[in-house]
Chain A
Amino acid sequence: MRGRETNRSTVTLTIAAFVAAVALALGLAACGGGGGGIEGGGDSGEAETVKLQGKPSGEVTISNWPLYIDQGTVPAFEKATGVKVKYIEDINENAEFFGKLQPLLQRGESGGRSLFVVTDWMASKMHELGYLQNLDKSGIPNVEANLASSLRSPSFDPNRDFSVPWQSGMGGLIVRTDLAPDVRSICDLFDPKYKGKVDFLGEYIETVPLVMSCEGVDPDSASEAEWMKAIDKIKAAVDSGQVRRFTGNDYARDLTSGDAVAVIGWSGDAVQLQADNPNIEWRMPTEGCSLWSDNMVIPVGAPNPTAAEAWMNYVYKPEVQANIAAEVNYVTPVEGVKQIFEKREPELAKNELIFPSAKFTKNCFTQPQLTSEETQNITRAFDAVVNG
């Protein structure tokens, strides 16, 4: 019997070793995805301009964020131009999308995408790395004519050479009016009364400047030390159990269930959430909000840029944009939409979250620009808090 026993233990060991190997491989696949073989520099600075070829035709692939368009615009565009659109909603977070696409962009490929939509700071970063093409403005006359004047010369792209806003929005407070009626400033979120009932955004570019601004620091001119001070304040709140968790759009769940009573969130979400639950409300922080835009950009190696520019041009027709704006409830970057709403849906035309007046956003700041070294230090410090 001795022989059989050794045999069994060998079998045990073999099975165990095999299981270990397979499980490890699985685990690795789960956490090690993406990002192999990144060497050399991008050809920064000297971006090429897209080459337009006659009338738009063929196929075009557009990447956008989920729930960021109405049902009718894509088919209407296909009908108007004869271009076939593959519209995919595969962007959930700027940094994550960048991580996914970066190895391709580095090689001058876009993974088949002709156009995608990223937030200001990401558009700026991609441009610096040489991952975006400049636009041929002769293909987008509607953008030239209808782009809101406040969005015409952002600091990262003063002439709008490579980016065209898709929608804009505000970062600020979303509260449950029944559970946290007196939260009016970002600093109120640190009130021990709401311990464990407050969510912050996991994007440092939103959360940290908003905290700085309630502390009286101007985020636009803040030094790295001031960023770090704000991060320390956030860390203290996390350690004491004040902050429940860091979220993306999923703060919606916590607000709806009442697990969170006040969060740092985005204006368009608030409009949509309030439609379902009247107790959920956007609050412009007393010290002001953050302003951002998500931008359409054409990456290097994009197939069919002619059709991509035709798309940009098409969504800048006010009557087309009105349909999108009515659905997504963010701030529309297109002039002339408000007039359409005044006739069609006067209630929405009065909503300051969709058509904010200059007075409404007078204290608000645009997302700050950082050097890549500052970005690395700040993200590292912020991440140490989020993943503490």
Chain B
Amino acid sequence: MTTVRRRLLPYLLLGSGTLWLVLFFVVPLAYMARLSLETGVVGSLEFNWHWANYSDALSLYDTQFVRSFIYAGTATLIALVIAYPLAYTIAFRAGRWRNVLLFAVVAPFFTTYLIRTIAWETILSDESPVVSVLQFLGLAPQGHVLATGGAVIAGLTYNFLPFMILPIYASLERIDERLIEAAKDLYASAGQAFWRVTLPLSAPGVVAGTLLTFIPASGDYINAQFLGSAGNQMIGNVIQSLYLKQSDYPAAAALSFVLMALIMAAVFIYIRFAGSEALMGEEAR
């Protein structure tokens, strides 16, 4: 009896989560899959295995796909460059300020995403001090910053930065400092110890952080809507517009699936690559 119960327990624990996912993820996904193969206008949609929705999605909106991945990739890279030193400082050098700093990282979440993005409209407004400085430095070639691709990337970086910082911090914070001491005992310089001990051990955090930043950033449409112009719209904006403005549900559904497939492919390639990278550091030891 006890063994049966023990065997069933994990399934019971998974139950609520599974139910949630099936109801709110799998079922809508199935609806969307069906929708993506329909044709016609709202009110007279017909299901007829119309695979051309998919080829149309790719050929009509390839620019926006490429743009989305470039913007999201750039934002992820910048976020990584900002986040790693920050997380490192919080984990190893912050002392009693650690909790305060962590709070500061999370604090923006007390304001909604939308409000924070709209606040950037003011920060990057044409007459703002920030833009005057950028113009003085020659970094605003179009004469304005708001309503350019740069502003969209800046917004994406800012909005997803905490998703980069927190996982990296979590993995750095777990590192046994004696390992670093041991490296130094074995005549590793500070740089060597970092490259061969700290960095490999924090790799899971970096992988998680980049994924948590890149994936939502590629599908984002808020930043492009408020900070971008007509030439900076991302694939999320197209999907939103197809759904809500043009009422072209089949095209929107097909586009969503293409986006999902592309992101999934990119992520699996990345995980394979990053996974082996993380291993290599350890094997070299």
**150-181 of chain B: CB within 8 A of chain A:** none
Q: Does B247 contact A (CB under 8 A)?
A: yes
A10 to B, closest residue via Cβ: B275
- The answer, among A23, A42, A383, for a CB contact under 8 Å with B241, is A383
Interface residues on A, range: 35 or more
Taking A12-B275, A20-B267, A31-B240 as contacts, is the C-beta distance between A39 and B47 under 8 angstroms?
A: yes
Q: Given the complex of chains A and B, what is the CA–CA distance between A373 and B252 in angstroms? A: 18
Taking A37-B31, A386-B230 as contacts, is the C-beta distance between A32 and B256 under 8 angstroms?
A: yes
Q: Does B79 contact A (CB under 8 A)?
A: no
**Contact at A245–B228, with CB atoms within 8 Å?**
yes
Contacts of A17 in B (CB 8 A): 271
**Contact at A39–B216, with CB atoms within 8 Å?**
no
Query: Mostly helix, strand, loop or mixed at chain A's interface?
Result: helix
Stretch at the interface among B83-91, B92-100, B120-128: B120-128
**Contact at A30–B220, with CB atoms within 8 Å?**
yes
Q: Does A64 contact B (CB under 8 A)?
A: no
CB distance from B165 to the nearest CB of A (A): 15
**Contact at B230–A258, with CB atoms within 8 Å?**
no
A-B pair count, CB < 8 Å, reads 190
B250 to A, closest residue via Cβ: A38
CB distance from A194 to the nearest CB of B (A): 12
**Contact at B238–A387, with CB atoms within 8 Å?**
yes
A99 to B, closest residue via Cβ: B244
**16-32 of chain A: CB within 8 A of chain B:** 16-17, 19-20, 23-28, 30-32
**Contact at A376–B248, with CB atoms within 8 Å?**
yes
Q: Given the complex of chains A and B, what is the CA–CA distance between A20 and B213 in angstroms? A: 10
Number of residues from B at the complex interface, CB < 8 A? 75
**Contact at A246–B230, with CB atoms within 8 Å?**
yes
**Contact at A37–B144, with CB atoms within 8 Å?**
no
**Contact at B278–A20, with CB atoms within 8 Å?**
no
Q: Does B5 contact A (CB under 8 A)?
A: no
Q: Given the complex of chains A and B, what is the CA–CA distance between A244 and B46 in angstroms? A: 39
CB distance from A105 to the nearest CB of B (A): 10
Task: Enumerate chain A interface residues (CB-CB to B < 8 A).
Answer: 5, 8-9, 11-13, 15-17, 19-20, 23-28, 30-42, 44, 93, 95-96, 98-100, 102, 106, 129, 195-196, 238-239, 241, 243-246, 253, 257-259, 372, 376, 379-380, 383-388
Task: Enumerate chain B interface residues (CB-CB to A < 8 A).
Answer: 21, 25, 28-29, 31-32, 34-35, 38, 41-47, 60, 63-64, 121-122, 125-127, 142-144, 146-147, 203-204, 207-208, 211-212, 215-216, 218-221, 228-231, 233, 236-249, 252-253, 256, 259-260, 263-264, 267, 271, 274-275, 278-279, 282-283
Q: Would you give 24 A-B contacts (Cβ < 8 Å), ordered by A? A: A8-B278, A9-B278, A12-B274, A12-B278, A16-B211, A27-B263, A28-B219, A31-B256, A31-B259, A35-B35, A36-B28, A37-B31, A39-B38, A95-B246, A98-B244, A102-B247, A238-B230, A243-B230, A259-B126, A380-B248, A383-B238, A384-B60, A387-B241, A388-B231
